Chain A
Amino acid sequence: ELKVEQNPLFLSMQEGKNYTIYCNYSTTSDRLYWYRQDPGKSLESLFVLLSNGAVKQEGRLMASLDTKARLSTLHITAAVHDLSATYFCAVDASSGTYKYIFGTGTRLKVLA
Chain B
Amino acid sequence: NAGVMQNPRHLVRRRGQEARLRCSPMKGHSHVYWYRQLPEEGLKFMVYLQKENIIDESGMPKERFSAEFPKEGPSILRIQQVVRGDSAAYFCASSPAGSTGELFFGEGSRLTVL
A101 part of interface (Cβ distance < 8 Å)? yes
**Residue from A4, A41, A102 having most chain B Cβ neighbours under 10 A:** A102
Question: Does any Cβ of A come within 8 Å of B33's Cβ?
Answer: yes
Checking A31, A33, A88, A93 against B42 with a beta-carbon cut-off of 8 angstroms, the contacting residue is A88
Interface centre among A33, A98, A99 (most CB of B within 10 A): A98
Q: A43's closest neighbor in chain B, by CB?
A: B105
- A77 on interface, CB distance cutoff 8 Å: no
Q: Which bracket fits the contact residues of A?
A: 20 to 34
Q: How far is the CA of A92 from the CA of B33 in the complex (A)?
A: 13
Task: List the B side residues contacting A42 at CB < 8 Å.
Answer: 91, 105-108
* Nearest neighbor of A96 in chain B, beta-carbon distance: B101
Contact present for A98 and B95 (CB under 8 Å)? yes
Whole-angstrom distance from the CB of B97 to the nearest CB of chain A? Answer: 11
Chain B residue at smallest Cβ distance from A105: B42
Contact with A along B7-30 (1 / 0, CB 8 A): 000000000000000000000000
- Contact in complex: B102, A45 (CB < 8 Å): yes
Q: How far is the CB of B30 from chain A (nearest CB, A)?
A: 12
17 residue pairs from A and B, CB less than 8 Å apart: A31-B100, A35-B105, A41-B108, A42-B106, A42-B108, A45-B102, A88-B43, A93-B45, A97-B55, A97-B56, A99-B48, A99-B56, A99-B59, A100-B45, A101-B45, A102-B42, A102-B44
6 A-B pairs with the lowest CB-CB distances in the bound complex, closest first: A102-B42, A43-B105, A102-B43, A42-B107, A42-B105, A98-B101
Residues of A participating in the B interface, judged by any CB pair closer than 8 Å? 4, 31, 33, 35, 41-43, 45, 48, 50, 88, 90, 92-93, 97-105
* Contacts A42-B105, A48-B102, A102-B43 supplied; 7 other A-B pairs, CB < 8 Å: A4-B42, A33-B102, A97-B48, A98-B48, A99-B48, A100-B35, A105-B42
